[in-house]
Structure 1
Amino acid sequence: MTTIELYAENSYRKECTANILSIQERFVVCNQTVFYPGGGGQPCDRGIIKQFGEIYEVVNAKKIDGQIVHELNRQLQCTQQEVRMEIDWPWRYQNMKYHTLLHMISGYFYQQYGALATSSQIEADHARLELAFSPEIVSVIPFEHIEKSLKEAFIQPQQVRTKTMSRREAEQNAGILKTYLNILPASLTEIRVVEIDQIDEQACGGTHVNNTSEIGDFSIVKIQNKGATKKRMRIQLLD
């Protein structure tokens, strides 16, 4: 039985009750969860599980064979009683803002320069994005003014939406979505897509804000060369 991923339906949901499917020492699987298990450079959620007045810290969450496995700081005592899950909301919301911003920046560079994001990672106080450019264009991009250009491009708030489409439909897409399909498992027939109006459209299973206005101000702290045609950007939220 797979775990129902409530975070995919509503990124703003902070808690839920759930029935236990299995327990193996400190590792618990439930029928549903609000805990995002990490992926795509976004860390997993933190938080707690409550049962019989006892509080257990969720120190890690991971998706394995369709089930979300919650690693607790100590073993849960009862397998029959339902549990209550509560995520660390400030941590989740910060990651939502960073994840959405990374989509926006990678979408901008794809639209403006045909660049592809090759990796990303969200840390506790910043995010990292690596971009690959064609040799003929990387030398003429005004990176010294890129923060100003990004902020001008993002000045109008945009809605962020999720939808599901078939892989065949996604393959017919002419934009960046089709470009990234080849890195997804061939067995994946239904694709969850995150769409930011006029900015980006990518396959993604992570959590995001509903509107780009929620992100607030940001800074491009550092841009490093990672080879002749690759750049690594360090990004920091300022609010």
Structure 2
Amino acid sequence: MTIELYKENSYIKECTAQIISVNERFVVFDQTIFYPGGGGQPCDQGTIKQDDEIYKVVKVKKIDGEIIHEIDRPLHDIQQAVIMRIDWSWRFQNMRYHTLLHVISGYLYQHYNASATSSQIEKDYARLELAFSPEIIGKIPFEQLEQSLKKLLAQPYNVHTKTMSRREAEQKEGTIKTIVNLLPASLSEVRIVQIHNIDEQACGGTHVNSTTEIGNFSIIKLQNKGATKRRIKIQLD
């Protein structure tokens, strides 16, 4: 089982790792700083260094509990340890976007009982889709949402992660219960991301430690995706 160092500390940029298994360009290590993607967040990018050889990490995926690193060519030595380095600018941008998506979904859940149905972080923007009750959607001042979010984030809030049992998570009020029900039945523990009293959610992704690190942002588009659904597109400055 690979130790997922990014879950313990999203700010680790480099580490050493031992090879567990190799299948041509696909490698599993004893530990990794590479996030394999999921929950709308793309996988990390970066390199793996072995002696003087540097290999580009093409893709990282989690398959049947294994984190598989696809590199640009086979390793020259399958016994020797490697040095992992992530593309920090890419990782940090995704951390900022991911945390902001939590803030938006938490704000809209608290004020308008919205349910986030999907999210995706792209290269230059992120999107969030939400469902609202038909009774309330016409009363929501979407044109003031950006201003309301920036007013909320004018104060700094810490972002915490913790692990709880699946049973405990299923008994929590709010949206955690919904997300937990979608997780594999074999998962006995759930990682929770909490942003003050703004949002508390089951999530395996990477986030900043404080909302001050999100920085400035804009809502660049609001789309109708049905009578009770809206898609919000955001862009970091």
Q: TM-score, normalised by structure 2?
A: 0.98
1:212 counterpart = 2:211: yes
- Structure 1 residue 167, shift from structure 2 partner: 1.0
The one-character-per-residue Cα deviations of 1:152-209 (angstroms, maximum 9, x if unpaired) are 1222110000000001111221122123222222221100000000100000000000
Name the CA distance, whole Å, in 2 between partners of 1:154 and 1:178.
26
Deviations 1:83-108 (A, max 9, x none): 11000000000000000000000000
Q: What's the offset of the Cα at 1:227? A: 0.4
Instruction: Give the distance between the partners of 2:172 and 2:21, measured in 1 at CA.
Output: 40
Map of 1:41-56 to 2, 5 A cutoff? 41-56=40-55
- Rounded to whole Å, the distance in 2 between the matches of 1:183 and 1:65 is 16
> For 1:220-231, what aligned pairs fall within 5 Å after superposition?
220-231=219-230
Q: Name the SS of the counterpart of 2:92 in structure 1.
A: helix
Structure 1 alignment gaps of length 5 or more: none
Which residue pairs with 2:187 in the alignment?
A: 188
* Counterpart residue number, 2:89: 90
Q: Once the two structures are superposed, what CA deviation does each residue of 1:33-76 show, in whole Å capped at 9, x if it has no partner?
A: 00000000000000000012100000100011222100011111
Match of 1:60 in 2: 59
* Paired position in structure 2 for 1:201: 200
Corresponding residue number in structure 2 for 1:8? 7
Residues 1-239 of structure 1 mapped to structure 2, 5 A cutoff: 2-238=1-237
Structure 1 segments, 4+ long, off by >3 Å, are none
Unaligned runs of 5+ residues in structure 2 are: none
Q: For 2:144 and 2:138, how far apart are their aligned partners in 1?
A: 14
SS of match in other structure, 1:136: coil
Cα distance in structure 2, aligned partners of 1:64 and 1:229 = 35
Give the RMSD, CA atoms, in angstroms: 0.8
Local SS of the residue matching 1:101: helix
- The one-letter amino acid paired with 2:135 is E
Name the % identity. Answer: 69
SS at structure 2 position matched to 1:78: coil
Listed one character per residue, the Cα deviations across residues 113-152 of structure 1 (whole Å, up to 9, x for unaligned) are 0001000000111001000000000111011111111111
Structure-1 separation of matches of 2:98 and 2:189:
21
